[in-house]
Chain A
Amino acid sequence: MQPIGCVNSSHQMKRDVFQAIADPTRRAILLLLATQALTPNALAEHFDSTRQAVSKHIKVLSEADLVKQKKVGREIFYEVNATQMKQIEKWIEKFKGLLENRFAQLDDVLSKLKNK
């Protein structure tokens, strides 16, 4: 199947979102950040891994636009980029709608064929 032509992405992501959330630690990080914004240190305390490992995961999530930074005073906090998370769900829902429309049209074609 297939769609139609080209559309401009609003921005170019550096990393594949689904690859970013395929990792269980990164999903856990997203869940934590969904409840509250955290500093890198506070975040690392929730995990057994080294701070370095956690910051690598954060880097992947940032590159996929799933996590963004905000500065409060001198401290950096990480928070979930809700827009990006919703975008993906939106595309999936629209794709589903596209298929549903298409198949309803196929139903019409098939019923015409049967009545021939």
Chain B
Amino acid sequence: MTFDVDRKNKQIHVEREFAAPVETVWSAWTQSEFLDQWWAPKPWKAETKIMDFRVGGRWLYAMVSPDGNKHWSLTEYKSVAPQKNYTGLVMFCDESGNANADTPRSLWNNTFNADGDSTVVDILIKFDKLEDLEMLVGMGFEGGFKMGLSNLDELLEKK
């Protein structure tokens, strides 16, 4: 995976090759039955409530913690060129999909390039400010990790 931070333009550029043809990789990124299997960093799980993959459509899903807490997120699809590219505005929201105006948004521009039997996905993420990363990673790592540890504490207490 290549990972470049462009501080001046407040964006991150990522490239990653996947060992599957472009149709398969595209499906894995755009269909909720697949997204739910890989989008959440373990031990969290992604649970889709609404998936409407088209321009103007939305993906509303929850990241579910090991003890069942749900953190809701929304992607609004801005453009779609099948098996080539899509852009989506990502934000936090409530379970009805009402965006939380106080939390950061990021714009994802994902391009899929076939390379024989493999696919290279080119991801450009644009932030309002790079400090927003604190929030983006906060729950995924520290929150999840701490939660994992507190589960362990509970288990140990029961013993």
* Residues of chain A at the chain B interface (Cβ within 8 Å): 1-7, 9, 13, 16-19, 21-22, 87-88, 91-92, 94-103, 105-111, 113-114
Task: Provide the main secondary structure of the chain A interface.
Answer: helix
Bound-complex Cα distance A110 to B10 (A): 31
Bound-complex Cα distance A42 to B19 (A): 58
Nearest CB in chain B to that of A104: its residue:
B38
* Inter-chain contact total with CB atoms closer than 8 Å: 138
A5 touches B92 (CB 8 A): yes
Which single member of B3, B27, B103, B135 contacts A99 (CB below 8 Å)? B3
- Given contacts A4-B44, A5-B71, A99-B1, whether A13 and B131 have CB atoms under 8 Å apart is yes
Bound-complex Cα distance A15 to B30 (A): 36
A21 touches B7 (CB 8 A): yes
Bound-complex Cα distance A96 to B75 (A): 20
Provide the residues of chain A in CB contact with B129, threshold 8 Å: 16-19
B40 touches A4 (CB 8 A): yes
Bound-complex Cα distance A16 to B41 (A): 28
A110 touches B143 (CB 8 A): no
Nearest CB in chain B to that of A97: its residue:
B141
Which single member of A17, A94, A102 contacts B39 (CB below 8 Å)? A102
Provide the residues of chain B in CB contact with A19, threshold 8 Å: 129
A-B contact pairs, 21 of them (CB 8 A): A2-B73, A2-B90, A3-B73, A4-B71, A4-B139, A6-B103, A6-B138, A7-B139, A18-B7, A88-B130, A88-B133, A92-B130, A94-B141, A98-B141, A99-B3, A100-B1, A101-B41, A107-B19, A110-B20, A113-B27, A113-B28
Bound-complex Cα distance A41 to B39 (A): 53
Given contacts A97-B137, A103-B1, A113-B34, 11 further A-B contacts (CB under 8 A): A1-B39, A2-B106, A7-B135, A18-B8, A92-B12, A94-B133, A95-B136, A96-B3, A102-B39, A109-B38, A110-B28
A85 CB to closest chain B CB (Å) equals 12
* A-B complex: 4 closest residue pairs judged by Cβ atoms: A5-B71, A7-B138, A4-B63, A4-B139
Which single member of A5, A96, A100, A109 contacts B63 (CB below 8 Å)? A5
